[in-house]
Chain A
C-alpha cells in the first residue's frame, strides 16, 4: 500500500485507540495501537526504501498478499518485499536506518504483550498499560518524524 494510505490508516486507528478506555477496553485499545503502529512502520519502511509501496494488500501470512484483478476481484499472490505484518516475522533486503530500528524495537516491546495479555490471560497491570502506551508513543513519534522528514507523503 502507498505511504499516504498507511498514514490515513494510522489516523483512523489512532482515533479509535484514543476514544477507548485503556483499562476497561484494554484489548481493543491495545490492538488499535498495535495495528496503527504497524501501519506507521510500513509507511516509514517505504519512505526509507527498505520495503516498496506496492498495490497488493498484506494478509495474515508472510508473503501472501491480496491483489486486485482487472475484473475487480481479489486473488491471493505470493511475493516479497512489500507491506509487513509484524517486524519480528520479517526479513529486510535493504539497510535499516538506525532511527527506524529504534521504532522497530519499540514495536517489538509493544508486541511482546500481545499473546500473553490478549490471548493467554496474563493479568494486565497498570505498569503493563503504561509500558504499552510508552512503546506505542515512541513508534508513532519516530515513524511520523521519519515519514515527514523524507518528504514522501503525497
Chain B
C-alpha cells in the first residue's frame, strides 16, 4: 500500500485505541502491533527501502537481509516493533503476568515507530525491486 494509506490505517487504529486502557492489554498490544506495522511500512516506503507492493506483515517474517538493512538504518524502530511482536505470545495468546505493564510499554514502542516514520526521508538507495529476493518469481 502507499504510505498515505498506511498512515490512514495507523491513525484510525490509534483513534480506536483511545477507547481502551492498559487493563485491556491484549487489545492495546494488538492495536500497537497493527498500527506500528503500518507506521513501519510508511517508514520503509518513504526511505525507499521497500516498494508499496512489498509490505511487511511482521518484522519476524522479514527476509533476513531486509531486516538487517532496516535495522542498520533505524535500529530503534525495528527493535520497538519486534518488542511489541514478542509481547503477543506472552500476553495476547498467553496468560503471563504483567499484561498491563507490557501494554504501557507497547504504547511507548508505538510512539518510537511513529516518530521514525514521521521523520523518514528518501535515502537514495538502490530500488527495492532490485534487491528483492524470491525463488518463486
Partner-B contacts on A (CB < 8 A): 1, 5, 8-9, 12-13, 16, 19-20, 24-25, 27-29, 31-32, 35, 38-39, 57-61, 65-66, 68, 74, 83, 85, 115, 118-121
Contact = CB atoms under 8 A, between A and B. Distances in A.
The B interface, classified by DSSP as helix, strand, loop or mixed, is helix
A144 B30 CA distance: 24
B27 A13 contact: yes
A69 to B, nearest CB: 13
B20 interface: yes
Interface residues of B, number: 31
Given A32-B27, A119-B57, A20 B93 contact: no
Interface stretch (B9-17, B66-74, B100-108): B9-17
A35 B12 CA distance: 19
B93 to A, nearest CB: 5
Interface in B31-56: 31, 34, 37, 55
A66 B12 contact: no
Contacts of B132: none
A68 B97 CA distance: 11
Nearest to A6: B95
Contact of A31 (B9, B34, B96): B34
A14 B107 CA distance: 22
Contact of A121 (B5, B13, B31, B88): B5
Contacts of B1: 119-121
A11 to B, nearest CB: 11
Contacts of A8: 95
8 contacts: A5-B95, A16-B26, A32-B27, A57-B96, A60-B61, A118-B34, A121-B1, A121-B9
Given A57-B89, A60-B58, A66-B94, A25 B27 contact: no
B112 to A, nearest CB: 20
B34 A60 contact: no
B94 A19 contact: no
Contacts of A61: 60
B115 interface: no
B20 to A, nearest CB: 7
Given A20-B16, A31-B34, A119-B55, A13 B89 contact: no
B94 A31 contact: no
B31 to A, nearest CB: 6
